[in-house]
Amino acid sequence: MSDEEAIRSLIAEHFEPMRWGEGKEPGWEDFRKDFLEDALLCGAVRPAQLRSVGGFIERMETVARKNLGSFEEHTRGMKILRFGNIAVVLALSELLEDGSDVSHDISGYLLVKSDGRWSIMAHAWDQASEDDPVPEELRL
């Protein structure tokens, strides 16, 4: 698999373990495997708050799962800039909450390749809106 194919696969499949709903629990250990051990995440909430992967999972378990009966997020497009063993990716995601509430966000990823494997070093995202619509170049 080429580096670009490996990056596309990592980002495209990244959110699959995070799904939950009736009879389906999230696979947090599989989700965690996409990240370097000390990776940082920064959600759309402002002021910006950095979280560890463990801190993000804890927040999803204590806040999101209490308020949402089901959740899915799927990557719908991406742009990759790569040089050697580093890459920056902007990706469009579609979120489905409680089976009917659809929204979109844009994620920025900083990736590194080590021991032949691409991993997420940092991940930040922001919600798309009427004021900040999804860029056309990120749509599939």
Please choose, from the candidates 134, 139, 125, the residue with its C-alpha nearest in 3D space to the C-alpha of residue 77. Answer: 139
pLDDT digits (tens, 9 = 90+) for 85-110: 999 999 999 999 999 999 999 999 99
Q: Mean pLDDT score of the chain, rounded to an integer? A: 95
Rounded Cα distance, 20 and 106, in Å: 21
Helix H, strand E, coil C: the string for 18-51 is: HCEECCECCCHHHHHCCEEEEEEEECCCCCCCEE
What pLDDT was estimated at residue 63? Answer: 85
Q: Which SS3 state, helix, strand or coil, does residue 53 take?
A: helix
Q: Which two tokens stand for residue 14?
A: 């990244």
What average pLDDT does this structure show over 18-44?
A: 95
Q: How confident is the model at residue 129 (pLDDT cuts 50, 70, 90)?
A: very high
What is the helix (H) or strand (E) element at residue 56, kind and residue range? helix 53-59
- The architecture that CATH gives domain 3-128 is Roll (3.10)
User: What's the first-to-final CA gap in the chain, in angstroms?
Assistant: 21
